[in-house]
């Protein structure tokens, strides 16, 4: 399973309909948050994405992206959580999070492991690798590329039978890509019985950024790009000034990267009620599947084959 739940899709200020940044990602046994703006814990309750987090990935430390972690971790502690929680983020993750999470408060019921990441240094999680990439924002900021591990190739029972391999544990060995020895001593290699390994899914989250090459490289051929689009064409100068992207620029980035799907998020309050101009402007640049996220949007990403 690879499911994304958009918990907050507003930039800078919450509105009646949109909370500050937060994205829940559920993948196999792991449950992640990407950013945790104020009010994220209520959004998790509202949309049922679950408190059973294994890690939080921060893109940067503007207040609208992390303040929600303070109260949320307190709640997890009150609920008696014991499992450690990993937190990843760029500088100054350690200094800043240690200051707000632990100083002057009762200790939490669980360990928080803060990992300050450098762009390009991959983070291994169960079944996937997360790589932070350097984006262009007013302060140190990264986007996150999530690459699911490859899966074994398709197994062909008819070919296994034709090769004289009896149904049973030997099939499993072949499926895992191992050469097997039959009871009679003959050796059968997995090639010809099992197809080549299948690629996993790739999801890229831009975080707050001007359009940049690093995002294009990280999102090359991705199944999904979640890109910020704080502004529309009318606010192009403002986008440059505040180091954000317009919807059109997000569309260009998605096209340059050749992604399969684009979801726009992090909207200025002026597009809260009607994001249709943003959708139209991005669609002029990007011909693929595209939508503007709303709070509560759930996406299930199917396997590529």
Give the shortest CB-265-to-Zn ion separation in angstroms: 10
**Residue 67 or residue 174: which is nearer to Zn ion going by CB?**
67
Annotated catalytic residue 64? yes
**Residue 38 or residue 64: which is nearer to Zn ion going by CB?**
64
- How far is 255 from 108, CA to CA, in rounded Å? 45
Give the shortest CB-12-to-Zn ion separation in angstroms: 6
H or E element, residue 24 = strand 22-27
Q: Which two tokens stand for residue 195?
A: 């197809």
Does residue 62 interact with Zn ion by CB under 5 A? yes
**Residue 21 or residue 145: which is nearer to Zn ion going by CB?**
21
**Residue 11 or residue 87: which is nearer to Zn ion going by CB?**
11
- How far is 185 from 164, CA to CA, in rounded Å? 12
Q: Which of 35, 64, 272, 295 is catalytic?
A: 64
Q: What is the dihedral of CA 218, 219, 225, 228, to 10 degrees?
A: 50
| Owner of token pair 């990264």 | 142
Give the shortest CB-139-to-Zn ion separation in angstroms: 7
Question: Restricting to residues 95-124, which ones interact with Zn ion according to CB under 5 A?
Answer: none
Contact 8, 295 (CB under 8 A): yes
Give the ranges where 104-235 is alpha helix by DSSP (H): 157-162, 169-175, 213-218
**Of the listed pieces 60-68, 87-95, 145-153, 158-166, which binds Zn ion according to CB under 5 A?**
60-68
Does residue 208 interact with Zn ion by CB under 5 A? yes
How many CB atoms are closer than 10 A to CB 180?
A: 19
- Residues recognised as catalytic: 64
Residues engaged in binding Zn ion (CB under 5 A): 62, 64, 208
């Amino acid at each position: 399973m690879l499911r994304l739940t958009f918990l907050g899709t507003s930039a800078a200020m919450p509105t009646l309909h949109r909370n500050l940044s937060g994205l829940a990602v559920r993948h196999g046994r792991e449950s992640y948050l990407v950013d945790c703006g104020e009010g994220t814990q209520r959004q998790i309750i509202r949309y049922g994405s679950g408190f059973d987090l294994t890690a939080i990935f921060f893109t940067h430390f503007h207040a609208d992206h992390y303040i929600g972690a303070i109260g949320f971790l307190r709640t997890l502690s009150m609920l008696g959580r014991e499992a450690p929680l990993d937190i990843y983020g760029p500088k100054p993750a350690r200094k800043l999070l240690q200051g707000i999470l632990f100083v002057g408060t009762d200790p939490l019921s669980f360990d928080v492991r803060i990992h300050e990441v450098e762009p390009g240094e991959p983070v291994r999680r169960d079944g996937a690798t997360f790589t932070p990439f350097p984006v262009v924002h007013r302060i140190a900021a990264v986007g996150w590329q999530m690459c699911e591990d490859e899966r074994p190739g398709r197994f062909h029972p008819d070919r296994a039978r034709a090769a004289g391999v009896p149904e049973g544990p030997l099939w499993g060995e072949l499926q895992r890509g191992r050469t097997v020895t039959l009871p009679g001593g003959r050796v059968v290699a997995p090639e010809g019985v099992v197809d080549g390994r299948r690629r996993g899914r790739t999801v890229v989250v831009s975080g707050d950024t001007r359009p940049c090459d690093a995002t294009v490289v990280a999102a090359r051929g991705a199944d999904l790009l979640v890109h910020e689009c704080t502004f529309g064409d009318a606010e192009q100068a403002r986008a440059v000034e505040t180091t954000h992207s317009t919807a059109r620029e997000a569309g260009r980035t998605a096209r340059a990267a050749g992604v399969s799907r684009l979801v726009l998020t992090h909207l200025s309050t002026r597009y809260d009620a009607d994001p249709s101009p943003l959708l139209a402007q991005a669609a002029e640049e990007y011909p693929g599947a595209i939508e503007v996220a709303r709070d509560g949007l759930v996406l299930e990403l199917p396997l590529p084959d």
